[in-house]
Amino acid sequence: MKITIVGTGYVGLVTGACLAELGNDVFCLDLDQRKIDLLNDGGIPIHEPGLGDVVARNRAAGRMTFSTDVAASVAHGDIQFIAVGTPPDEDGSADLQYVLAAARNIGRHMTGFKVIVDKSTVPVGTADKVSAAVQGELSQRASEALFSVVSNPEFLKEGAAVEDFMRPDRIVIGCDATPAGEQARQLMKKLYAPFNRHHERTFWMDVRSAEFTKYAANAMLATRISFMNELANLADHVGVDIEAVRQGIGSDPRIGYSFLYAGCGYGGSCFPKDVQALERTAREYGQDLLILRAVEAVNNHQKHVLGTKIVRRFGEDLSGRRFAIWGLAFKPNTDDMREASSRVLINELLQRGASVAVFDPVAMPEARRALALDFAGDAAAVSRIHFCDSPNDALKDADALAIVTEWKAFRSPDFGLLKTLLKAPVIFDGRNLFEPEAMATAGFEYHGIGRSILT
Ligand code: NAD
């Protein structure tokens, strides 16, 4: 089938590559010329395991085209996926400017029937706005070309995106009940048929319910994390090991083990903005989502938990101190720094006069960009960020180590060496990678999240 993907970011590029892998002829459009040039030169603009191979294979087979040519992209695909960003607006709502610009481009150039798929995470009612944007362009040029807007939110996880896309838990598709909607449904059914060979994974629903499902999923996951973080903070006060509690409750199949890990807060391009956007949608309808307000507040607080522990240990004034930070990306296996907890910690430490020696296995270039933005105009602060070539390099002469991202590479360090490199054997572990008892035996002062068992 002929497919166009608008936007070659984390979602667009993975969607395009995976659909090409299934034999489709995929045209990837982006307005960012540098991204397109890089892709045409055989590069990959993001870090995503396995993605480079899939793209290279399908480009070589002639099933993937990268271009900034809007007219050609609209002419190409019978199905036009909109996979552009929906960042938070100042008031927390999803900023739809990129989605609507993409919709107008489609309306401006389309001649025959098109299925327009909202792949981006967009609030309830966006499909109507996309329809109106397309229709507005068609009306201007007195065209009566038919189209249908479908909601097909994406559930892939960064760091496992290719695997998630190729083996989805579910595919959610919302179509409307018009004849054009039915035509769209048939095309979507054909496109996704390879995923449903063993068993049906597609949930067909109306458009608004599909739009809502994505927010409900992310809000639920964010809620589980904030719930555990809040309990972990209490656990620290009452002498309870939150890890034991996690296992104790996770064994109940109604609860399950996933997404119950206490830590230093969730980040990324989805949970923070999607929780906010859902709250904002509720307010537009005169509703108040009390639970989600708390989820967001707990998370904002949790991003300071390592900073607070460090201040409790070393005092308010950290000038002259140096802290090693392992992990900068918002989670492992990605280079995404959006809303990463590391940024909050680094800010806090620098504001208090400390210097930081940072290392991440893949996010160093992104971190340089993100931190340059965070501290734009504050050359003194920037001069106190030392970007290191290895985890051990970061440890040299540091007063303590803070772990922010649970990369596998950090899970089994040489503790003996660690002790010799650090000024003192002090670890603040924002992801509970180690066992407190074992750390104590190894001679470390260990501060986990919710693991301060009274002895
Ligand atoms: P991204 O910022 O990585 O990529 C968006 C791309 O769209 C950019 O390359 C940008 O240049 C391009 N773009 C913007 N306007 C355009 C236009 N008019 N025409 C062509 N290209 C245009 O974003 P992302 O992380 O891939 O997220 C995209 C959407 O998917 C968001 O709504 C997000 O919430 C959702 N989503 C993201 C994830 C994730 O893990 N990143 C998972 C599920 C859903």
Q: Which atom of ligand 1 is nearest to the CA of 98?
A: 15
Distance 6 CA to ligand 1 centre (A): 9
Q: Which atom of ligand 1 is nearest to the CA of 29?
A: 20
142: tokens are: 């007195």
Task: Ligand 1: list residues with CB < 6 Å.
Answer: 6-12, 29-32, 35, 83-86, 98, 101-102, 120-121, 154, 156, 158, 269-270
270 an active-site residue?
Answer: yes
State how far the Cα of 11 lies from the Cα of 119, in Å rounded to an integer: 8
* Residue in 4, 15, 84 to alter for ligand 1 test, most ligand atoms within 8 A of Cβ: 84
Distance 180 CA to ligand 1 centre (A): 26
Please state the CATH superfamily assignment of the domain spanning residues 2-205 in this structure.
NAD(P)-binding Rossmann-like Domain (3.40.50.720)
360: tokens are: 């991440």
Residue owning tokens 């470390």: 444
Domain topology for 221-447: Rossmann fold (3.40.50)
Q: Which atom of ligand 1 is nearest to the CA of 157?
A: 40
pLDDT in tens, the chain (455 residues): 999 999 999 999 999 999 999 999 999 999 999 999 999 999 999 999 999 999 999 999 999 999 999 999 999 999 999 999 999 999 999 999 999 999 999 999 999 999 999 999 999 999 999 999 999 999 999 999 999 999 999 999 999 999 999 999 999 999 999 999 999 999 999 999 999 988 999 999 999 999 999 999 999 999 999 999 999 999 999 999 999 999 999 999 999 999 999 999 999 989 999 999 999 999 999 999 999 999 999 999 999 999 999 999 999 999 999 999 999 999 999 999 999 999 999 999 999 999 999 999 999 999 999 999 999 999 999 999 999 999 999 999 999 999 999 999 999 999 999 999 999 999 999 999 999 999 999 999 999 999 986 64
Given the cut 0.90, state whether the ipTM is greater than it.
yes
Select which of 18, 28, 264, 270 is catalytic: 270
In terms of Cα–Cα distance, which of 279, 280, 291, 276 is closest to 223?
Answer: 291
CB contact set of 52 (below 8 Å; sequence gap of 6+): 44
Q: Is 164 exposed, middle or buried (0-12, 13-18, 19+ CB in 10 A)?
A: middle
CB contact set of 93 (below 8 Å; sequence gap of 6+): 123, 276, 277, 280, 281, 284
DSSP letter assigned to residue 23: T
Q: Which pairs count as long-range contacts for 343-349, CB under 8 Å and 24+ apart, including other chains?
A: 343/370, 343/371, 343/374, 344/265, 344/303, 344/304, 344/307, 345/264, 345/303, 345/306, 345/307, 345/402, 345/404, 345/430, 346/371, 346/374, 346/385, 347/374, 348/304, 348/307, 349/307, 349/310, 349/318, 349/323
What residues does each domain of the chain span? 2-205, 221-447
Distance 13 CA to ligand 1 centre (A): 9
- Relative to beta strand 25-29, strand 2-6 is parallel
370: tokens are: 């993100």
Please, are residues 26 and 16 in contact by the beta-carbon 8 Å criterion?
Answer: yes
**Nearest residue (CA) to ligand 1, atom 38:** 11
